[in-house]
């Protein structure tokens, strides 16, 4: 079970998976060169949605396909500091498609 | 009551404020710069006509929309070339102040309340640039009125923003416009809506105009709302998966 955590602070809007930096997957698709953001709908949240799903699913193509809905339904509601695990992501994907 | 995370951020932020920093001096500098600009412009306005005086409300509206736009699209979005502004605001100011604790404690905290003085200089330079164009195509009076109004609006902004983050509201809660923006801005510090709602810092005109107010009211109601919470929209989003709570976490839906 992986744990994804995000936090805004003096170091930036930082996201980790099991304590290690989450790969933004810029090499596959760049929605926002400026990196991750959340709590709204936009390029930064879309990048985050894609990166989380790519890591969770292990499938970049599937992640890209699902990233728009995940950004709109999940990432847009993340707090200043947030935490989600693999089971919660699966539950969100099942609920939101 | 603030969360442990907010408390930790405040401690870390305060530790990095330069020991020589003086909040009162910071504010004096802002008002010396703005006051000097205002004084210079007023000295150079001679018998303005009605049309030239009409520049004042035009600049007030323009400044209001500009404040809204800058807050929404630059201070709350990571954009290339403007990351310093976003970091100082979303990643610092909004971690120092949240809906749980939106007030500062000492004048040392003015570091995170007031803009650095060079921001005012940059703003006045922009206003002077516009004034130069107005002077060429219209009149020196109109140009001076434009810059004077811009300087006034900047100082208005800094004062109103301070009013939002000062703890003691025994007098402020009775002052029209101030009480409105205080409720409006503290609501903006709710992390659920801070990236999208309540982007004005002086008068919530642009928020009303562009539908980004958390209130469901007309223009006059929005401007004179005061501390009233009866008209807060019922459909505002709520954050999930929060790790910023006093105990445990809130699971994702």
pLDDT in tens, B223-243: 999 999 999 999 999 998 888
Residues of A in contact with B94 (CB under 8 A): 8, 80
> What is the arithmetic mean of pLDDT over B5-30?
97
pLDDT in tens, B152-162: 999 999 999 99
> What is the arithmetic mean of pLDDT over A80-90?
95
Residues B51, B52, B56, CA angle at the centre, nearest 5°?
Answer: 105
**Cβ within 8 Å, pair B243-A32:** no
A82 touches chain B (CB under 8 A): yes
**Cβ within 8 Å, pair A77-B251:** no
pLDDT in tens, B85-115: 999 999 999 999 999 999 999 999 999 999 9
Other CB atoms within 10 Å distance of the CB of residue B172: 15
- Considering Cα of B64, then B66, then B69, then B74, what sign does the dihedral take? negative
Interface test with B, best of A70, A80, A85, A90 (most B CBs within 10 A): A80
What local confidence, expressed as pLDDT, does residue B110 receive? 98
What's the CA gap between B106 and B108, in Å, rounded? 5
Check whether B249 has a pLDDT greater than 60.
no
Q: Where do the structural domains in chain A lie, given as residue ranges?
A: 3-83
Under the banding of pLDDT at 50, 70 and 90, the label for residue B35 is very high
Instruction: Write the burial class of residue B93 (CB in 10 Å: 0-12 exposed, 13-18 middle, 19+ buried).
Output: middle
What's the CA gap between B232 and B122, in Å, rounded? 36
Predicted TM-score of the model (pTM):
0.94
A14 touches chain B (CB under 8 A): no
> What is the arithmetic mean of pLDDT over B112-131?
97
A88 touches chain B (CB under 8 A): yes
A71 touches chain B (CB under 8 A): no
How many CB contacts within 8 angstroms connect chain A with chain B? 94
ipTM for the complex? Answer: 0.94
> What is the arithmetic mean of pLDDT over B29-34?
98
> What is the arithmetic mean of pLDDT over A91-95?
92
Check whether B244 has a pLDDT greater than 90.
no
| Number of residues written out for chain A | 97
End-to-end CA gap in chain B: 26
Residue of A12, A40, A82 with shortest CB distance to B243: A82
How far is A60 from chain B, CA to nearest CA, in Å?
A: 23
Nearest CA in chain A to B98: A80
**Which of B192, B144, B245 lies closest to A76 in space, CA to CA?**
B192
Question: Over chain B, what is the mean pLDDT?
Answer: 95
What local confidence, expressed as pLDDT, does residue B236 receive? 96
> What is the arithmetic mean of pLDDT over B54-82?
97
Check whether B205 has a pLDDT greater than 50.
yes
Interface test with A, best of B241, B243, B248 (most A CBs within 10 A): B241
pLDDT in tens, A30-66: 999 999 999 999 999 999 999 999 999 999 999 999 9
What local confidence, expressed as pLDDT, does residue B241 receive? 80
């Amino acid at each position: 079970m992986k744990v994804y955590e995000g936090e805004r602070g003096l170091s930036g809007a930082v996201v980790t998976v099991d304590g290690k930096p989450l790969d933004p997957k810029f090499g596959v698709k760049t929605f926002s060169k400026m990196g991750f953001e959340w709590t709204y709908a936009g390029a930064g949240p879309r990048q985050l949605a894609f990166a989380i799903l790519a890591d969770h699913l292990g499938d970049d193509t599937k992640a890209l396909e699902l990233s728009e809905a995940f950004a709109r339904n999940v990432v847009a509601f993340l707090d200043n500091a947030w935490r989600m695990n693999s089971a919660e992501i699966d539950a969100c994907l099942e609920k939101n498609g | 009551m603030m969360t442990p995370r907010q408390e930790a951020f405040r401690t870390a932020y305060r530790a990095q404020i330069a020991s020589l920093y003086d909040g009162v001096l910071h504010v004096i500098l802002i008002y010396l710069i703005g006051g000097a600009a205002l004084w210079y412009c007023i000295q150079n306005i001679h018998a303005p006509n009605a049309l030239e005086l009409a520049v004042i409300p035009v600049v007030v509206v323009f400044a209001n929309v500009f404040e809204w736009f800058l807050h929404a699209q630059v201070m709350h979005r990571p954009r290339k070339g403007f990351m310093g502004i976003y970091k100082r605001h979303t990643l610092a100011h909004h971690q120092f102040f949240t809906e749980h604790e939106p007030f500062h404690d000492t004048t040392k905290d003015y570091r995170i309340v007031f803009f650095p003085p060079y921001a005012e200089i940059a703003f006045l330079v922009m206003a002077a640039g516009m004034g130069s164009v107005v002077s060429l195509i219209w009149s020196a009076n109109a140009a001076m009125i434009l810059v004077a109004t811009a300087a006034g609006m900047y100082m208005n902004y800094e004062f109103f923003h301070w009013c939002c983050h000062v703890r003691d509201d025994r007098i402020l809660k009775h002052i029209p416009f101030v009480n409105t923006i205080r409720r409006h801005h503290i609501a903006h510090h709710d992390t659920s809506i801070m990236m999208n709602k309540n982007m004005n810092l002086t008068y919530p005109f642009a928020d009303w105009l562009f539908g980004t107010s958390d209130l469901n009211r007309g223009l006059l109601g929005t401007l004179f709302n005061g501390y009233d919470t009866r008209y807060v929209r019922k459909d505002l989003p709520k954050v999930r998966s929060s790790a910023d709570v006093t105990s445990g976490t809130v699971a994702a839906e």
